Amino acid sequence: MRSSAVPAILLAALILSGCSASSGAEDVLANVPSSETTNAITKPSGPIPAAAVGNPAPQASPPQQALSWTGPVPEPQALVPADRPVGMPMPTERPVAMLMPADPDVDPGAGTKSPTRSRIYGHRFRDAKPINFGSTSPRKLAVHGVDVSRWQGEIDWQTLQKQGANFVYIKATDGGDHLDPMFKKNWRQAKEAGMKRGAYHFFYWCRTAGEQADWFIRNVPKEANALPPVIDVEWNGESSCKQRISRARVLEKMQVFLEKVERHYGQRPIIYTAPDFYRDNLKGELLNYPFWLRSVAAHPSKVYPGRKWLFWQYSGSGLSDGVDGKIDLNVFNGNESDWHDWVATR
């Protein structure tokens, strides 16, 4: 088929016109972002929004290159809205102040105490039956505390703390079926007062050790900041269980309880005991456990010769503001630094 000369002349004119006026479709497409996904390595296809941080000196923007395009102009609905971020936006939502200390002149790691270290309150307790311990007085030790049960009734924890109770052990359970009626309230309120606290179990020799461990675990919360659990082992004539089993059975039952409780809480339990029970059953035993020793008439070194101890209960007749009646008084075996170090490893 023959082509006409006129269409050929018109086609040539159109081509020359397109070469001289290229600001049409390409100028529109120059502001259309690439459809490719960028990441931390790929250079964004569009300009990065300026971060609103500081007042940097104005800089000239590099010339924007037109995007090459080999296909037809996309439909208007396919275009990215003008308010949509292009490329990888700078994280402007995090305030710059969060990246710096509140006081730039203070180094947080230089000469400052750890924020987890609680204040140590000095001893201000009184005693209804004071004992002269001489040069081994518990008053010479820095960190005092108390142990409580329902018999102390309602407690003003803030006042008790300021009197010198830097820690408290709270009666939780007896045997395999008794919960101290004040335990939950005492446990909660001691925490609210900011006191270091732990729970103790009074052991019954007429119940299996496994039952007693389960009962304690059922009632005492597992909390990261709690002090290690305590097993209270003694001969108690006032208890409904008056059975006195052999030394071998005592140690066997204690070991079952101690191991089960340690597995649950992830803390080695502390053994609380009194002189007669210790003499009958614990002298020279369980050397890898910390001990809490009752000794209200003499220093533990005289009553429990050779035994290392963590806590000393030096009075059962303490008096303190914040508590009606008498309260047991205890002291930690070490200075303030030793106490903070020990608490930090619990």
Task: Report the CATH number that the domain containing residue 131 is assigned in CATH.
Answer: 3.20.20.80
Please tell me the least confidently modeled range out of 18-27, 231-240, 276-285, 298-307: 18-27
Give the residue numbers annotated as catalytic, written as ranges.
234
The residue that leads in pLDDT, 56 or 147, is 147
Answer for the pair 318, 296: CB distance below 8 angstroms, yes or no.
no
The mean pLDDT value for 109-124 works out to: 68
Q: Is 319 part of a structural domain of the chain?
A: yes
73, two tokens? 């102009």
Q: Is 118 part of a structural domain of the chain?
A: no
What is the Cα–Cα distance from 186 to 155, expressed in whole angstroms? 8
Residue 240: predicted pLDDT: 81
Q: How many CB atoms lie within 10 A of CB 217?
A: 18
Residue 211: predicted pLDDT: 98
Confidence of residue 216 (pLDDT cuts 50, 70, 90): very high
Looking at the chain, the number of H-run helices and the number of E-run strands are: 9, 10
Output 112-119 pairs: Cβ under 8 A, ≥24 positions apart.
114/340, 114/344, 116/343, 116/344, 117/340, 118/166, 118/194, 118/196
For 205, the domain range is 126-344
Q: Is 191 part of a structural domain of the chain?
A: yes
pTM above threshold 0.75: no
The mean pLDDT value for 46-58 works out to: 41
Answer for the pair 170, 200: CB distance below 8 angstroms, yes or no.
yes
Q: Is 152 part of a structural domain of the chain?
A: yes
Please tell me the least confidently modeled range out of 16-20, 92-96, 179-183, 193-197: 92-96
Please tell me the least confidently modeled range out of 35-49, 71-85, 217-231: 35-49
CA end-to-end span of the chain: 99
Is the pLDDT assigned to residue 223 strictly greater than 80? yes
Q: Is 77 part of a structural domain of the chain?
A: no
Domain tally, the chain: 1
Residue 116: predicted pLDDT: 61
Answer for the pair 228, 267: CB distance below 8 angstroms, yes or no.
yes
As a whole number, the mean pLDDT across the chain is 77
The strand pairing partners of 196, in sequence order, are 167
Is the pLDDT assigned to residue 172 strictly greater than 50? yes
